[in-house]
Amino acid sequence: MSNLRKILPGLLALIFVSAGCRIDMHVQPYYRPLSKSDFYADSRSARLPVEGTVARGDLREDAYSYTGKIGANPGDYMPFPVTEQVLARGHERFNIYCTPCHGRVGDGQGFIPSRGFRRPPSYHIDRLRKVPIGYFFDVMTNGFGVMPDYSAQVPPRDRWAIAAYIRALQLSQNATAADLPAGQKVPAEAPEYRDIGTGATLPVVKPKAAETAGENKEEPK
């Protein structure tokens, strides 16, 4: 009992000190965005960056890569080579961010317009087939009409990848026999599906008759 009386003051002091630290760690003064400050002469809590400084990785020396424009006009070239990987990335990002309004093939028949939202123009009209590729980058960056900008959701390189994929979509929907490998029909035959999928699962293409016959063919004994 005497030992408990000796250590009790120290234990209580430790509890109070710990509680004080916890309060200091959890309850700290801070400013809400755009709130007023009495500390600064201009009364703004948000401070401008120090003059001449640039965020790391955000120097943007190549203005075209971040604007899609040469001067005031859209440019008509990609700022980096278009590879299979770039188109695959553009395909993936397009399906995530663009298809809800523009549709899978860019015809403007997306899900959102079917619910009353203004339908975007098809990428396959003459006007959009003739615009420079930088135009698509600029629209994704700054928005156009009822379309908001996607600069916060999609990084610049991905915006360029989407623009390249849009060009591929335009070619795919307006291709001629001269643009296709020998033996390919225009339009290509629609695939038949064994399972159309549920939305959570992907469709399964039905095997061709020749492939099925090959699978069922018994090996000679």
Residue 43 vs residues 31, 38, 39, 46, 192: alpha-carbon distances, Å? 12, 6, 7, 9, 67
**Rounded distance between C-alpha atoms, residue 93 and residue 131, angstroms:** 21
Q: What pLDDT score does 184 carry?
A: 72
Residue 123 or residue 19, greater confidence: 123
Tokens 């899978």 -> residue: 104
pLDDT at 162 over 90: yes
Tell me what the mean pLDDT of segment 28-57 comes to: 86
Pairwise CA distance, residues 98 & 103, whole Å: 7
pLDDT single digits (tens) 125-140? 999 999 999 999 999 9
How much is the average pLDDT of 84-93? 97
When pLDDT is cut at 50, 70 and 90, the band that residue 180 belongs to is: confident
Q: What DSSP state is assigned to residue 182? A: T
Domains, the chain, in order of start with CATH, read 82-177 (1.10.760.10)
pLDDT at 2: 61
**What's the predicted TM-score (pTM) here?**
0.65
Q: Which pLDDT score is estimated for 191?
A: 75
What is the predicted pLDDT for the residue at 206?
A: 85
Which has the higher per-residue pLDDT, 29 or 84?
A: 84
**Helical (H) or strand (E) element with 12:** helix 2-26
- pLDDT tier at 200 (50, 70, 90 boundaries)? low
Mean predicted lDDT score pLDDT of the chain: 84
What tokens does 165 get? 């994929």
Other CB atoms within 10 A of residue 171 CB: 12
101 or 181, which is more confident: 101
Per-residue model confidence (pLDDT) at position 155 = 96
CB-based contact 97:153 (threshold 8 Å): yes
Cβ burial of 161 (10 Å; 0-12, 13-18, 19+) is buried
